[in-house]
Structure 1
Amino acid sequence: MFGKNSTVDAELNADVEQALADAGADKLLPIVQLGEPVLRQPTEPYRGQLKRKTLDKLIDAMHVTMLEAPGVGLAAPQIGLGLALAVVEDHVRDSEEDPREIAELPFHVIINPCYEAIGEASASFYEGCLSFEGYQAVRKRWLDIVATWEDESGVEHKERLHGWPARIFQHETDHLDGEIYIDQAQIRSLSSDDNLSEYWSYNPVPLDAAQELGFQL
C-alpha cells in the first residue's frame, strides 16, 4: 500500500475530476506538447493524493487516450498532471524477427517507477513521443533493465524487461523526471513521420539513416 502518510489532496482531486468531466464520454484527455512547463518538471511521488475512485477514473481515461493517440505509453505530465504515474501497453506486431525485439507488454499502471540497467548492452532505434507530435529520432536505450513500480493498489512489482518493453518503460519513467526522449537522441536523425515512413521504415535498424543523415550509432 502507499503507506500511512497517504493524504488526499482536495484541490488536486477537484482539478482531476474537472479534467475528467471536460473529457466527456469519450474519455479523451488533451495531450500537452513540448514547451509546456509540466513536461520539464520532476513529478511528485504518488502517495495516495487521489481518492481511489478518482484514481481509477484517471487511469481509465489515460488508457483510452493512449490507445486512441495511438501510443504505447502515456505519462501523467503529458496530460498536465505532475504526479509519478504512467500507463503502458504494447503487443507483438507483424514480424517475430523484428530487430527491435517487440514483445507482449500487457496493460500496466506504473506508479513511482524506476529502473536499473542490467549489463552494458544498448540498442539504438527510432523513437517518438505523443508530446512531440509528427517527429521521431534515434535514441540509444538500455537493452535490459530491472523495472520497479507500484500498481494502483500500492503493491510493489519488480520485473526484468528486455528489448522494446524495456524501451517503453524507460521512456515513460524518464517523463516523470522531466526528460523527453529527444534530450539524448541523435539530433541529426530527427525526421518527420512522413519522411521516416518514406525513407527509413523498411529497415528498423537505422544504419542507412545514419549514413545518409550523418550521425553515428
Structure 2
Amino acid sequence: MSRELTARTTPPYNHFTQIGDPVLRQRAVEVEDDRIDSNEINDIVEQMVNVLRHYDCVGVAAPQLGVPLRIIVMEFREGKRELIPPAIYEQRKMATLPLTVFINPKLEIIGDVKHTHPEGCMSVRGFSAHVPRYDRVRVTGIGKLGTPAQLELEGWSARIAQHEVDHLNGIVCIDRMDVSTFTCVTWEQINAAGGRAVIPFDK
C-alpha cells in the first residue's frame, strides 16, 4: 500500500491543502454507486492512506488532498502510545484505531457528553486550539479495506471521525474552536530563533 511520495501539482495531492484553498470550504459530493469500486476511487483511497501514513497523522478527508468527494480515512496506530504522555493518553480517551476507510459516511451523535481538548489540523498547519467534540458517535457508510459498514467510536476516535466528516461539509476545526486558545505550536522555537523559523508544509 505504502509508496514514496513525490511532489505533484494535481489532485489527489501528496500534500495537505491549506486553509484558503476553496476545496476546503465546499460541501464534498457523494461517490456515485457505479464509481465506488472503480480504479479511480481505489487510487484515491490508496493515495489518502499513503499521505496519512507519510505524515504520521490520524485522519484525512478527500478534500484535504484536493478531491471534493465524501471519503475519509482514519488510523490511530498503536505506536503513537509511546509518543504521548500516559496522563494525556488517558485523559483524552485515546485508543488504537485500525485503518478505517469510509465512502459516503454518515455520522450520528449517540451521546450527550462533550469534551474539549486541543486539536490540530493538517490543513491549518502549525496551529492548534481547544475544540469541543461529542464523546460517542456512530459512523455508517461504505467501508473499504476491511472497514465494516457501521462503527461506533468514543473518545479520541470519535473526535477524529467528527473532524474528518466536518471536512466533507466544508467545516474546519477553527470554525468550532475556542478562539482564545488558538495557538501557533512552534511559538517557542520562533522566539528562540529570533523569528528565523518556518512552519514546514512537507515532511
Sort the TM-score into its range (normalised by shorter chain).
0.7 to 0.9
| Distance 1:142-1:49 versus aligned 2 partners, 3 A rule | same
* Unpaired segments ≥5 residues, structure 1: 1-19, 198-217
Deviation at 1:23, TM superposition (A): 4.4
Deviation, 1:195, is 4.4
Alignment of 1:37 onto 2:22: yes
Identity of aligned residues (%): 31
The residue identity in structure 2 corresponding to 1:57 is: D
Give the drift of 1:126: 0.4
Note the residue ranges of structure 2 that are not aligned, 5 or more in a row.
Answer: 190-203
- CA separation of 1:22/1:51 partners in 2, compared to 1, >3 Å: closer, same or farther? farther
Q: How many residues align?
A: 176
The answer to whether the Cα contact below 8 Å between 1:28 and 1:64 also exists between their aligned partners in 2 is no
2:42 match? 56
CA 1:147–1:50: 2 relative to 1, 3 Å: closer
- Which of the residues 142, 167, 182 maps onto 1:190? 182
Normalising by the residue count of structure 2, what TM-score does the alignment of the two structures yield? 0.77
- Residues 1-217 of structure 1: matches in 2 within 5 Å? 23=8, 29-47=14-32, 48-49=34-35, 52-92=38-78, 93-94=81-82, 95=86, 98-152=90-144, 157-195=149-187
Tell me which structure has the larger Cα radius of gyration: 1
Distance 2:188 2:141 in 1: 33
Q: One-letter code of the match for 1:42?
A: R
